[in-house]
Structure 1
Amino acid sequence: MIFLPTSRRWLLPALGLLIFVLMYRSIIHVPASVRTTLRFTHHPEIQYGVKISQEAVDEQFVPPRDPSQGHVWPDQKSYYTYPSQTPGHFNPYLEPLLQCRRKPNPYTDYIRLPNIVQSVSQLTSRGEASDQQKFNPTIIALPPWSPHQYLLVSRVVTEGAHQESLLCEADSCYTGNTSEGRRPREKDCTADDLTILGAAGGLRCSTPPRIVSIPSTPAEKCEGAWSAFPDIPGFHDPRVFWSGKGEPLIMVNSASRYACVGLWITDLRNVHEPLQALLESQPGQPYHPGPLMSYPSLTELTRNPAAARAQVEKNWFMFFPTPEEAFLHYDLSIPRSAAGERNRTLGGRTFAKIIGNGFTTPNLTDPLEPPCLLDEPDTRGKYGHWHQASNALKLILCRRAEAERGTCSEEQQDRAVHFAVMHRKFSNDLGLPLRYERFFVVWEARPPFRLLGMSRHPISMWNETASGWDAEENWAEEEDGYDDGDSPYESNHSSHRPPPPDDLAKNTTTTTTTSNEPTNNSQNQASAAPPNLLRRTSNTTTSSDITPSPPPTQPKPLLPAQQTPRTNWAYFTYTPSIAWSFRSRPAIPRREHGPQDDRSAGSDPGSDGDPEHTRTLQALNIGYLDDEVILGIGMDDRGQGVARVRAEELLACLRRCGSEP
């Protein structure tokens, strides 16, 4: 009988375990074929694509280590093999959006939509006093069973010693005298509403606003102009949006553990407790736990590899092709040389898949993606700077009625796309912001998520003006520039052009206490931006999907030759937020589901027993062409407003990516 000492009898098992570990590590190592797909291919026709050098990929392929978390290896499902040939066919369902129904302004090149910007207020009662100014509203629509329509987060104008944001649940009010233009669950404007919001109505807090409480974060290193940033408490630039699983999320800019300024994310249910009960169940239905939290604590989002990060990161957004997947879109700009560009990324397009704990894959941009952004001047020969502005929404390229009839489905190839707002920023001779031009960009909702198209011209609402041109030039639209003909999507749709803004102010039938005329003085406009939103009559609707019948007593709009000179409205406006407007029914109609659909609906453990509830929450980030989009609009860093426009109106007059302007 062989006898081994106690210390030696474990030698053989230990050796076997070591062999197993080495074999396991070799099995999960990323194959060379995957690395090849992430390398920049030096093809003469490629101008955009992966911006990570081969050396950077070889040196640091996996996400950076986080000392507080275990090391995360990305699996093969995080990557896609891109085709080696020219990008494939054009999406045929996008063709109607390439048509231009309105002519641009001959001076500003803007396309002016007939929808107006309305006021936003955090005041819950007329007698409430507040000297706080708010700006940069970011909005999401609440589920159909919610007692209120929207959740609103706005930044507070401070003296610079701290950053602060307020949150409330809000409702819109209706100023019309018929039910034709009333939106779902929209109440009539009361005298209180009209006093606070003005005759055009708007969005107003229904619950007392509360400070958004998010803990401070440490900065790794801040240099130069940003050296004082870590000493300023609070976060800035909040964005609220729904995830593909139906989670309410908030993304903020705060001090970064990896550089100076980064982006952090958490579930809004941690910030606003009533959301937890709201998402758990709806009246008359069985209890539902709601979607599980992907971000139960404040989590910093990263860029991979670490060498690709800038000292200051901002304006990232997420998009969700499926409930199970989340992607992070970092940049969309004109590529530029890295020479002399310290703390700046190389530009172009970069996005990655989130694999957990805020970690991401390297850039997944298709190297063969055609260019979309154009480096062209405005009508005065000035060049702007492109940057991302808003969150992203998922759009199904058909009408809701088609989906209900079963002739259109999200599962059909090319039916689903994503879109977001891009800003082209212009500065004055002092380097201060002059204006932000609003463009929309559309990309695929399936791999490789190529860009499909973007707005040919900047988009403005009816009562917006563009800084850099005088009032006469801003209002020089030609009479035939507004086509009242049929929509490209259905024959019974017509677009209504409201009276000019000056006439709206003159013809208002509702008495208000804030009827100041707008002036060219940007400081005066800024200090009273919400009340100065140009008024409209109670008989005028702003929704482009309604053809109102004004009463005979309403004054006829004056022709341009008969109008008095109009003034500019705001120094500059910008769009940090887009969301689908409140809906009283789910965005995904009830239909027969196959095994694949059932798996998608029930993939979240919280969906057991009530797939319809799960689908309703997942659909809060999904809409159709005839659904309204609500835009949160900031004004002069001192005011806020909202506009509501149908998706097909916002995205009309697209230019196909890779085509000539």
Structure 2
Amino acid sequence: MIAKDCKRLALFGLPVLILIYTAASFYRDILPVGPPAHDEPKSAAPWEKGNHMEVFSASTHDRKYFPIDFGEIKGMNPNIIPHPHLEETWIVVAQESRGPDVQDPVFAEIACNAAFRDGTLRCISPPARLPIAPTAGDKCTGELAFFGLNAGPHDARVLYGPDKPYVVYGSNSALTCFGQWIHDFRELVGAWADDDGDDEEGEKGEEPEPQETPDLFRAATELQRPAAHAYGAVEKNWFPFWDRAGRMYVHYDMSPRRVFARIHADGSAGEDLATATAAADARCLARYVPALPPALESVHQATNSLSVTMCRRADPRCVPGAHNTFVLAVWQHKTFYRFHGVYEPYAMLFRRDAPFAVHAVSRRPLWIHGREEHRDRQTSDMMYVTSVSWKHAGLKYHGFLDDELVLGFGIEDRDSGGIDLVAGDLLANLGLCDD
């Protein structure tokens, strides 16, 4: 996290440290806004476990989430995807987090092959920095001047598309202060050196999706917003998704309304398609999600997307189609009461054809088993979900209700964890928009 890396830039002096903290507030939204703690209003999102839908690990002995161990290096905001060739091995990518004694202004994403050992997902060998080149821009001015000193990527999301993996990350922008970039992940790691290009497993009865352009985003490419939309000073957490024909789009915002558009090979975007379904989406979300007060709460995009067919792979009657296959993503309702941030994750399904209307959303936020309540402070662990992937090799973008997922998340800006669970468990308490 930028916030956790402030101290290592102390060599630039106190004024820059002040800029660092201010900039961090934009990137992680960590500064409280509104009345002081003793006058805070009551949250519309209760923090107690009983107000959530609890989800449990499919593999750990106590059914709690598993920690992620990077060895001597600390990693934050983890991403977990199955290794394309090695059995029972996963590629884990995270933001490198260094101690306050390390004076280094360069930020990096680290990656390793990992396997489960004694209930922990551990790097098999020391993590290595991904060779993501720093980018330059001149749009960071005023209270955002610190971002002009940035070098390297932030808060990457590593994900599978229908055919290949990508990494999306924040870095300095030619369009705004801090933008979002995309890169073919295979260009950064050696795991796909012997990739034979096999189609994704498990497309039961559905015509194969068209192949993506083989050289799409072979070089790092800055993603753009639709022309009619202004950029935020610090953009973050954009995620790509694919329609039924295999075309790529980017989802930019969940709040105050959804924004998404077709994305092209040069990173440019088509028109905002979300206006066509904005009213219906707002009505649906209002039924299941607490209304936001004017301060101390916000909604954030969180993970990448997947495609899920809402029946079991093992069921011979289960055939994917437009009526039962949707795009899945997780977003988060953030609260900041008593000077402590808490993220409440919700699963959302939306349709795979334009205008990509919301189909369903979690009736209650998810509670990952192992998250602790702190009743003396009227809060709970801050756990922020960053990635969702199919757990097993051979599955890329599409899966079924009886396939296992793995979620990656950060814990209290200190640690990384994950939980593996059957997709049907994650989606067990959905509220349908058409109900």
TM-score clears 0.5: yes
| Residues 1:139 and 2:80 aligned together | yes
Residue type of the partner of 2:123? C
Amino acid at match of 2:280: E
Distance of 1:224 and 1:279 partners within structure 2: 50
Of all paired residues, the percent bearing the same amino acid is 28
The answer for the alignment partner of 1:637 in structure 2 is 413
- Tell me whether 1:230 sits opposite 2:148 in the alignment: yes
CA drift of 1:224 comes to 3.1
TM superposition shift of 1:360 = 1.0
1:243, 1:323 within 8 Å by CA — same for their partners in 2?
Answer: no
CA 1:276–1:398 in 2, change beyond 3 Å: closer, same or farther? same
Give the structure 2 partner of residue 155 of structure 1: 95
Contact 1:265 1:301 in 2 (8 A): yes
Q: 1:427 aligns with which of 332, 336, 347?
A: 336
Number of the residue aligned with 2:133? 215
Q: Secondary structure at the match of 2:193?
A: helix
The answer to whether the 8 A contact 2:94-2:155 is kept is: no
Aligned to 2:204: none
CA shift for structure 1 position 322 = 3.8
Tell me how far apart the structure 1 counterparts of residues 220 and 155 of structure 2 sit (CA, whole Å): 16
How has the CA–CA distance of structure 1 residues 658 and 397 changed in structure 2, closer, same or farther, with 3 Å as cutoff? closer
> 2:111 is matched with which residue?
167
**In the alignment, does 2:175 pair up with 1:261?**
no
Are 1:622 and 2:398 matched, yes or no? yes
Deviation at 1:278, TM superposition (A): 3.5
Deviations 1:122-162 (A, max 9, x none): 23xxxxxx2x322211111233x434521110112134733
1:95-134 → structure 2 map (5 Å cutoff)? 109-115=51-57, 116-123=64-71, 130=72, 132-134=73-75
2:146 is the alignment partner of 1:206 = no
Q: How many residues align?
A: 364
2:216 to 284, 294, 308: 294
Cα displacement (A) at 1:429: 4.7
Alignment match of 1:397 (pick from 294, 301, 310): 310
Return the index of the structure with the highest Cα Rg: 1
Structure 1 Cα separation of the partners of residues 273 and 294 of structure 2: 34
2:354 matches 1:578: no
Between the aligned partners of 1:133 and 1:387, the Cα distance in structure 2 is: 25
Q: Which residue of 2 aligns with 1:455?
A: 362
Deviation at 1:208, TM superposition (A): 3.5
Deviation at 1:307, TM superposition (A): 4.5
1:446 counterpart = 2:364 = no
Pairing 1:332-347 to 2, within 5 Å after superposition = 332-333=254-255, 347=256
Distance 1:294 1:466 in 2: 45
1:105 shift after superposition: 8.9
Given the superposition, is the C-alpha separation of residues 370 and 263 from structure 1 closer, same or farther in structure 2, using an over 3 Å criterion? Answer: closer
Kept after mapping to 1: 8 A contact 2:49/2:367: no
> What TM-score results when the alignment is normalised by the length of structure 1?
0.51
Give, in whole Å, the separation in 1 of the partners of 2:373 and 2:331. 16
Partner amino acid for 2:319?
S
Segments of structure 2 that go 5 or more residues without pairing to the other structure are: 1-45, 58-63, 200-211
**2:240 is aligned with 1:318:** yes
Choose from 327, 342, 350 the match for 1:418.
327
Please give the per-residue CA displacement for 1:583-612, whole angstroms capped at 9, x wherever unaligned: 4xx5xxxxxxxxxxxxxxxxxxxxxxxxxx
Greater strand share, structure number: 2
Question: CA 1:108/1:384 → structure 2, altered by over 3 Å: closer, same or farther?
Answer: farther
Amino acid at match of 2:105: A
Give the match's secondary structure for 2:56.
Answer: coil
Q: Does 1:355 align with 2:264?
A: yes
Letter in 2 for 1:168: C
The 5 A counterparts of 1:639-654 are 639-654=415-430
Give yes or no for contact 2:96–2:109 (8 Å, CA) kept in 1.
yes
Q: Is the 8 A contact 1:105 1:111 kept in 2?
A: no
Matched residue, 1:85: none
Which amino acid counterpart does residue 54 of structure 2 have in structure 1? R
Deviation of residue 108 (structure 1)? 5.3
Q: Distance in 2 between matches of 1:634 and 1:279?
A: 34
Partner SS state of residue 454, structure 1 = strand
Deviations 1:245-273 (A, max 9, x none): x1111111000111101000111121112
Question: Is the alpha carbon distance of 1:466 and 1:394 closer, same or farther for their aligned partners in structure 2, counting shifts above 3 Å?
Answer: farther
CA contact (8 A) 1:466 1:572 kept: no
Give distance in 1, aligned partners of 2:228 and 2:149. 25
Say yes or no: does 1:370 pair with 2:270: no
1:370–1:658 CA contact under 8 A, matched in 2: no
* Alpha-carbon distance between aligned partners in 1 of 2:245 and 2:113, rounded to the nearest angstrom: 25
Q: Deviations over 1:264-304 (max 9, x none)?
A: 0111121112323235579xxxxxxx982311101000001
1:219 deviation in Å? Answer: 1.6
- Displacement of 1:470: 4.2
* 1:489 match: none
1:408 maps to 318
Counterpart residue identity of residue 454, structure 1: V
State the distance in 1 between where 2:215 and 2:88 align.
23
Contact 1:202 1:642 in 2 (8 A): no
Secondary structure of 2:194 counterpart? helix
Aligned with 2:307: secondary structure?
A: strand
**Superimposed CA distance per residue, residues 304-335 of structure 1 (whole angstroms, 9 cap, x where no aligned partner):** 116422221111101112463001000112xx
Q: CA 1:470–1:443 in 2, change beyond 3 Å: closer, same or farther?
A: farther
Deviations 1:606-630 (A, max 9, x none): xxxxxxxxxxxxx511110011110
Contact in 1 for aligned 2:345/2:366 (Cα 8 Å): yes
In structure 1, stretches of 5+ residues that fail to align are 1-103, 124-129, 173-192, 195-200, 283-289, 334-346, 475-567, 587-618
Deviation, 1:454, is 0.9
Structure 1 387/279 Cα, relative in aligned 2: closer, same or farther at 3 Å? farther
- What is the root-mean-square deviation of aligned Cα atoms in Å? 2.9
Aligned AA for 2:156?
P
- Partners in 2 of 1:293 and 1:168 — Cα distance? 25
Normalised TM-score (structure 2): 0.77
Q: Do the aligned partners of 1:247 and 1:293 also contact (CA within 8 Å) in 2?
A: no
Query: What is the aligned partner in structure 1 of residue 35 from structure 2?
Result: none
User: Could you tell me how far apart the structure 1 residues matched to 2:48 and 2:137 are?
Assistant: 48
Other structure's SS at 1:398 match: coil
Map of 1:343 onto structure 2: none
| Partner Cα distance (2:213, 2:191) in 1 | 15
In structure 1, distance between residues paired with 2:376 and 2:52: 14
Q: How many Å apart are 1:232 and its aligned residue? A: 2.0
Name the aligned partner's letter for residue 252 of structure 1: Y
Q: C-alpha offsets along residues 190-243 of structure 1, whole Å, 9 cap, x if unaligned?
A: xxx44xxxxxx1211224421111111112311333211121211100110111
